[in-house]
Amino acid sequence: MPHKLIRMQRTGDQTPARRPIMLAIAGDSAAGKTTLTKGLAEALGSDRITTICVDDYHRYDREERKNLPFTALHPDCNYIEIMEQHLQLLATGQPILKPVYDHNTGQLTRPELVEPREFVIIEGLLPLHTKLMRACFDITVYLDPPEEIRRQWKIRRDTQKRGYTADQVLAELERREPESEAFIRPQRAFADIVVRFAPIAGRNDPPGTPLSAELLLRPTIRHPDLSGVLADSDQRAIHLRLDRDENGRPVDALHIHGYAPREESQVVEKAIWSQLGVNAGDPPATLGTLDTGERSEPLAITQLLLLYHLLDATR
Ligand SMILES: Nc1ncnc2c1ncn2[C@@H]1O[C@H](COP(=O)(O)OP(=O)(O)OP(=O)(O)O)[C@@H](O)[C@H]1O
Ligand SMILES: O=C(CO)[C@H](O)[C@H](O)COP(=O)(O)O
């Protein structure tokens, strides 16, 4: 039962170094994992946080993958056992020699030494794939945008930054679909928080309205008491609703509205930031930043809630 062993090791006295707080951010390609991670890393500062993208554990480079009967989403296309070993080492405060995959060239390059800092974020396609991996995390997140939105994000990102044509991206998405269903989406069930950036159904907001966010706050971890924040806001920016999870169980769903006036969302951001007790003043301006240069208040509020969890886990 290796997953039990890692739990024992993390809670026992033998842990050689102070263990970091481990956050997993899982989801399909272009689901927004890097975007979410970047804001957290900037808010905490590079001296406090280590971030790793598990695309680095691809077993084959881009050229080799062209001739394989499976895609980068398949566990057989990734060094899953090495990922498990490395997660255990990081979770117990030890350094790793991490492989490196270069998205610019599609090649595997020289490995790099990574030391876990106070917080470690592991983001990627399969960080919650096995029981042993899941046992390494304090907080687990799954990004679950509607497929149509993820498709738009992937086409834009892969054509602008990874050298693909739109037709190549569409063909690859189709090829990946069965593996997405088999290996990526099942991880949703293991997340403490499921995040969905999407327009609010039935509202017909004008084009350009920032996406809203819905966060399922599962009772698998202790969530912040938002009663003060909710009471202070007039509920246009944010509200909590009792919903049903995929297994039919009741679950809290936090709705963060992209259509709310920016000033109202920022009242909520300030209230959550002041609850964190890290710093006087305003929340870091980098929260909510998209790579298009636009700002998303629902993204900023989501990042603040994850910051709450990271800091709370240290207490
Ligand atoms: N919350 C959001 N609101 C609007 N656009 C977003 C959001 N999150 C991500 N995007 C857009 O989607 C694109 C893909 O996001 P990102 O690179 O963060 O995905 P990813 O999950 O890290 O992808 P991959 O696993 O393929 O590296 C980005 O170019 C970004 O502009
Ligand atoms: O799903 C992905 C996660 O980023 C990538 O497509 C995968 O990592 C392979 O990279 P590339 O498409 O650059 O060859």
The answer to whether the pTM exceeds 0.90 is yes
Q: How far is the CA of 258 from the centre of ligand 2 (A)?
A: 29
Least confidently predicted of 20-34, 73-87, 107-121, 221-235 = 221-235
Q: How far is the CA of 36 from the centre of ligand 1 (A)?
A: 8
Rounded alpha-carbon distances, angstroms, from residue 118 to 2, 83, 192: 24, 20, 21
Q: What is the pLDDT of residue 278?
A: 76
pLDDT tens, residue by residue, 139-196: 999 999 999 999 999 999 999 999 999 999 999 999 999 999 999 999 999 999 999 9
pLDDT tens, residue by residue, 226-260: 888 787 666 789 999 999 999 999 999 999 999 99
Q: Whose C-alpha lies nearest to ligand 2, atom 9? A: 72
Strand partners, 143: 27, 195
Burial class (CB in 10 A: 0-12, 13-18, 19+), 159: middle
Task: Select 1-139's CATH number: 3.40.190.10, 2.60.260.20, 1.20.120.420, 3.40.50.300.
Answer: 3.40.50.300
ipTM of the complex: 0.98
Ligand lying nearest the CA atom of residue 103: 2
Determine if ligand 2 sits within 6 Å of the CB of residue 175. no
Span(s) in the chain for CATH 3.40.50.300? 1-139
| pLDDT of 135 over the 60 cut | yes
Mean pLDDT of 251-275: 92
Determine if ligand 2 sits within 6 Å of the CB of residue 106. yes
pLDDT tens, residue by residue, 118-132: 999 999 999 999 999
Q: Which residues line ligand 1 (CB under 6 A)?
A: 27, 29-35, 153, 156-157, 197, 211, 290-292, 296, 299
